[in-house]
Copies of this chain bind each other. A is one copy, B any other.
Amino acid sequence: MSAVDKAFHGLRHMIATGRLGAGERIPPEGELCEELGVSRGSLREAVRMLAALGVIEPRHGSGTYVSQLRPEDVIGSLSLTLELLPLTGLLEVYEIRRVLEAHVAAQAAARCTPEAVGTLFALIEAMEATDDPTKASELDHRFHLEIARIGGNPTLASLLSVFRARSRKYQVFTLPEGPELRRKSDEDHRVLATAIADHDPVAAAGAAQAHVAQTERWLRAFMPPVEEDDSKG
C-alpha cells in the first residue's frame, strides 16, 4: 500500500470509528505524519483527497477540521465532476431526475404547510416578474430546492440539487426561444405548486415528472454545447 493510501485510509478510519468526530479539529500535520508513518507531502495529498470528497476541510492558519458529515457535504462533491460526463450521461441523469422529482413532489404534497406553500408561490411570482434569465434560473433552482426541502429528505434534496446544477449549465432560457420556454415552465410551476398546496401527491408527482420531461425535451431539441463555465475565475 502506498504512503498516500496509508494516510488516506488511516484518516478515514479515524473518522469512521469516531475517534475524530464531526466538526472536530484533527491533529496538526506533524503529529499525523508521525502517527501514520508518512511524510508531510504524502499526508497533505491524502488530506486533499478527503477534502475533495467533502469529508474534511483545511483552514489556512487555523487547522484542519472534519466536516459536519451531512449528506450534502458528501454528495456535493459530485457537483464539480458530474458536468464532465458526456451528454449521454446527462440524459441518464434526466431519467433519474424524473423519478426522484416526482417522488419529492408527492412527499411535499403530503407534508407541506401553509407557510411552505406561501414560499413556493412567492418564488413563482418572483420568477414570473424577472426578465433576467440568470436570475430566473437561480429562482427556479430555489423553487425546486424548497420543494425538496418540504419533502423531508435532506440526502435526496442534495442529490437532486447536484443533478439540477448539471442541467442548469446548459442555460436553455438564454436561447432565442427562451421567453416562450420560460412561459411554459412558469405554467408547470403553478400546476406543481397548486397540486402540492392541495395535498394531492398523485397530481404533484405527475406535474413534477412532466416538468422534468419537458425540460429534457427542450434540451434534446436544442442541445447547446457547453464550453466554458468559469464565471468566477
Q: Is A27 an interface residue (CB 8 A)?
A: no
Chain A positions 158-214 with a Cβ under 8 Å from a chain B Cβ: 159
- Among the stretches A30-38, A71-79, A118-126, A136-144, the one at the interface with B is A71-79
Q: Is A156 an interface residue (CB 8 A)?
A: yes
Instruction: Give, as a whole number of angstroms, the nearest-CB distance from A226 to chain B.
Output: 8
Assess whether B16 is in contact with A83, with CB atoms less than 8 Å apart. yes
- Residues on the B chain within 8 Å of A129, using CB: none
- Bound together, the chains give a CA A160 to CA B99 distance in angstroms of 13
Q: Is A45 an interface residue (CB 8 A)?
A: yes
- Residues on the B chain within 8 Å of A70, using CB: 85, 89
Instruction: Give, as a whole number of angstroms, the nearest-CB distance from A167 to chain B.
Output: 13
Q: Is A48 an interface residue (CB 8 A)?
A: yes
- Residues on the B chain within 8 Å of A100, using CB: 96, 99-100
- Residues on the B chain within 8 Å of A92, using CB: 71, 153-156
- Among the stretches A51-59, A108-116, A215-223, the one at the interface with B is A51-59
Contact A159-B84, Cβ < 8 Å, known A49-B49, A52-B49, A230-B9: no
Selected from B52, B69, B89, B228, the residue in CB contact (under 8 A) with A52 is B52
- Residues on the B chain within 8 Å of A226, using CB: 16
Selected from B17, B53, B230, the residue in CB contact (under 8 A) with A13 is B230
The CB with the most chain B CB atoms within 10 A, among A84, A92, A99, is that of A84
Interface residues of A (CB under 8 A from B): 4, 9, 12-13, 15-17, 22, 41, 44-46, 48-55, 69-71, 74-75, 77-78, 80-86, 89, 92-93, 95-96, 99-100, 103, 153-156, 159, 226-230
Beyond A16-B229, A52-B53, list 10 extra A-B contacts (CB 8 Å): A15-B84, A46-B48, A52-B52, A53-B77, A54-B81, A55-B84, A69-B89, A70-B85, A74-B85, A77-B81
17 contacts between A and B (CB under 8 A): A13-B230, A16-B226, A17-B227, A46-B48, A48-B52, A49-B51, A50-B81, A53-B77, A53-B80, A69-B84, A74-B78, A77-B77, A77-B81, A92-B156, A93-B155, A96-B156, A99-B99
